[in-house]
Structure 1
Amino acid sequence: MFQDITIDEARKLMEKKQLTWVDVRSPSEYRNATIPGSLNIPVFDDEERAEVGTIYTQVDTHAAKERGLEIFSKKLPNFIRAFSKIGGEKAVFCWRGGMRSKTAATVLDLMGIHAYRLQGGYRAYRKWVTGQIEHMDFQPETYVLGGYTGTGKTYMLRKLEEEGYPVLDLEGMANHRGSIFGDIGLKPHNQKTFDALLVERILQLGRPPYVLMEAESKRIGKIVLPEFLLENKERGVNIIIELPVAERVRNILDDYRPWEKQEECLAAFARIKERIHTPVAKQIEEDLRRGRYNEAVKLLLEYYYDPRYDHSLDISGKDRVKTIRAEHTDEALKQLKEMLKEAGFLLR
């Protein structure tokens, strides 16, 4: 017989041995939000789920269960085969720990494959995440990377994270670059996914003496940052990155690759076009259409992004401001590492 497990019990188990989460909801539910790192082995696909749901509401529960069993029975060999390939302990979950996860865990048990069932399903996990955020005690020394658009802040943070530095890559968690062009070529995460990734990362970091993050505003795309992060940012050490305009343009082009997403770039520009002096806006649009991306980016920086940054930058009166001036991003990264070293924060 399968065994129900709570979020707290599952996390304790994960400290001792491997545990793989398996989301047995439909693919669209899984894409919308899930437990980070989970696999998707659905009991029903989206069309089947809709069919069973319609029978449930228009006929009755018994008829819906019968149709569900008929659909699922045809999938059993592939379903069992998929689970057989997963090593270590397994825990299945659906939306609220109902029939789908119960059916999956029962069938697996009958085939000799042990799997826990998450009590309360994904809904319980989401409640746990929001509770963690509400009561989060995370106050390390915070180093906040700021600077004009294109200074490679996200690039540097990700390089540092790869090397083991304590980093909160907020744009990575949001899957959004934090500007009007920020979702180009990406599929931004929703608030549920962002919150889950943030909580999991903070718990992974434990209690580091310091953490690095970018100087984000309250929102990244449609994502809203929790209050404790904004408070950490306010108390933090501000590090302003300064690079030549040519290097910033190169960074932006390397990141966005507008020649592959011209229509998306034009659509994004249309949303800010009216905020730029008309002749300049017309020139930017023409440059984008004609593939003169270097020129378009330079004008965007000069007439839109840099003035907005100057207006929003509020470090007046703060005595915890440091500046890094470099010719290219990797040089700035090297200076940042030296700065951390001088502050006594060595990579362990």
Structure 2
Amino acid sequence: MFKDLKIDELLHSQDKSKFSLIDVRSPSEYQEMTIPGSFNIPLFDDIERAEVGTLYKRVSVQSAKDRGLEIVAAKLPEFIKQFNQIEGDKVVFCWRGGMRSKTTATVLDLMGIKTFRLQGGVRSYRHWVIQTLEKVEIKPKAYVLNGGTGTGKTAILKRLEKEGYPTLDLEGLANHRGSIFGQIGLVSQNQKTFEALLVQDIERLHSSPFILLEAESKRIGKLLIPDFVMEKKAYGTHIFIEMPMEERVRHILEEYRPWDHHEECVNAFCKIKKHIHTPIAAQIEADLKSCNYDSAVLLLLEFYYDPRYVHTTKQYSENQRITIQANDVDEAVEAVGRLLKSAFTLS
């Protein structure tokens, strides 16, 4: 018989790697929020779930069960095959540890597949995330990558992460670049998934001597960064990256590739053009529409992003600031790495 597993037992297991988490909810439910790292093998797809739910509400519980059994029976061989392709001890879950996960766990157990059911389902995990966010504290010292738009802060962060530095990539967790143009070419996470990934990363970094993160505003797209992260950033040591304007323009063009997302860029600009002096805004819009992207980016930096950046930097005291001059991202990565190594011995 399968065993129930409590969320605390799962999260605090000394050998979490032996578990393979499997969300048996419909694809749309899985996309809305799941436990990070889980697989999706749905008992019902979205259409089937709607059909069974309608029978449950409008006809009877038994009618819903009968139709559900018909659906599951027809797909059972393929269903079992998908589970067999996943290694490790299977932990199945649905929204609250109800009928879908119980049915799945029972069938897998009958087929000789070692299975656990997550007690309370993904709802119990969501409650744990919320409770953790309410009491968590980032203990390591914070170093914050700061600098004008186009200085490659995210690229620097990712490069240093690959070299083993402890980083908290908020934009990476959000899958959004943070500006009004930040979602171009990307699909942003929702708030629940962002918070789950954030908690996971904070726990991973708990024993690090420091963390390196990027300066962000309270919002990344539509996502809200928790107050404790913003406070840690506000009191951290800020590493200001200064880079030549032409390199910043080049980096932005490489990152955003506006020629592949022309209409999205034009539409995004329309949301901010009222904040730019009218003749300049007209020139930027004309440049974008005529695909003169170099000029458009240069004007955006000079007349929109840089003035805003200068305003926000005034909130940091001189003893919080370290300035690095670099010609490109490669030089910036080396300089930030040297600075951190001089302060800490990385294991």
Matches within 5 A, 1:116-195: 116-195=116-195
What do residues 248-306 of structure 1 show as CA deviations (whole Å, max 9, x unaligned)? Answer: 11111111111101011111111111111222111111211221111111011111111
Query: 3-state DSSP class of the match of 1:306?
Result: helix
What do residues 166-199 of structure 1 show as CA deviations (whole Å, max 9, x unaligned)? Answer: 0000000011111100111111111111111111
Residue identity over aligned pairs, in percent, reads 58
Query: 3-state DSSP class of the match of 1:74?
Result: helix
Structure 2 Cα separation of the partners of residues 235 and 273 of structure 1: 33
Residue pair 2:139, 2:206 contacting (<8 A) in 1 also:
no
Task: Tell me what 1:87 maps to.
Answer: 87
Structure 2 Cα separation of the partners of residues 233 and 161 of structure 1: 18
Task: Tell me what 1:212 maps to.
Answer: 212
Structure 1 Cα separation of the partners of residues 256 and 183 of structure 2: 10
Task: Tell me what 2:232 maps to.
Answer: 232
Structure 2 Cα separation of the partners of residues 248 and 302 of structure 1: 11
Task: Tell me what 1:347 maps to.
Answer: 346
Task: Tell me what 1:287 maps to.
Answer: 287
Structure 1 Cα separation of the partners of residues 107 and 24 of structure 2: 13
Query: 3-state DSSP class of the match of 2:136?
Result: coil
- Which deviates more from structure 2 when the two are superposed, residues 58-67 or residues 16-25? 16-25
Query: 3-state DSSP class of the match of 1:307?
Result: helix
Residue pair 1:95, 1:123 contacting (<8 A) in 2 also:
yes
What do residues 287-336 of structure 1 show as CA deviations (whole Å, max 9, x unaligned)? Answer: 11221111111011111111111122234534121000111111011000
Residue pair 1:13, 1:19 contacting (<8 A) in 2 also:
no
Structure 2 Cα separation of the partners of residues 177 and 316 of structure 1: 23
Residue pair 2:140, 2:206 contacting (<8 A) in 1 also:
no
Gapped regions of structure 1 (runs ≥ 5): none
Task: Tell me what 1:2 maps to.
Answer: 2
- Please tell me whether residue 63 in structure 1 is matched to residue 68 in structure 2: no
Residue pair 2:108, 2:114 contacting (<8 A) in 1 also:
yes
Structure 1 Cα separation of the partners of residues 319 and 30 of structure 2: 46
- Return closer, same or farther for 1:151/1:62 CA change in 2, 3 Å cut-off: same
Residue pair 2:21, 2:92 contacting (<8 A) in 1 also:
yes
The one-letter amino acid paired with 1:167 is: T
Query: 3-state DSSP class of the match of 1:206?
Result: coil
Task: Tell me what 1:111 maps to.
Answer: 111
- Which deviates more from structure 2 when the two are superposed, residues 4-13 or residues 290-299? 4-13
Task: Tell me what 2:49 maps to.
Answer: 49
Task: Tell me what 2:301 maps to.
Answer: 301
Query: 3-state DSSP class of the match of 1:319?
Result: helix
Residue pair 1:169, 1:213 contacting (<8 A) in 2 also:
yes
Residue pair 1:80, 1:108 contacting (<8 A) in 2 also:
yes
Query: 3-state DSSP class of the match of 2:196?
Result: helix
Residue pair 1:138, 1:207 contacting (<8 A) in 2 also:
no
Gapped regions of structure 2 (runs ≥ 5): none
Structure 1 Cα separation of the partners of residues 133 and 287 of structure 2: 44
The one-letter amino acid paired with 2:161 is: E
**What TM-score results when the alignment is normalised by the length of structure 1?**
0.97
Task: List structure 1 runs of 4+ shifted beyond 4 angstroms.
Answer: none
Residue pair 2:146, 2:215 contacting (<8 A) in 1 also:
yes
What do residues 127-169 of structure 1 show as CA deviations (whole Å, max 9, x unaligned)? Answer: 0011111111322110011110010100011111112110000
Task: Tell me what 1:198 maps to.
Answer: 198
- Return closer, same or farther for 1:17/1:224 CA change in 2, 3 Å cut-off: closer
CA RMSD of aligned residues (A): 1.2
Structure 2 Cα separation of the partners of residues 312 and 319 of structure 1: 16
The one-letter amino acid paired with 1:296 is: A
The one-letter amino acid paired with 2:345 is: L
The one-letter amino acid paired with 1:149 is: T
The one-letter amino acid paired with 1:141 is: K
Residue pair 1:175, 1:188 contacting (<8 A) in 2 also:
yes
The one-letter amino acid paired with 1:347 is: L
Task: Tell me what 1:102 maps to.
Answer: 102
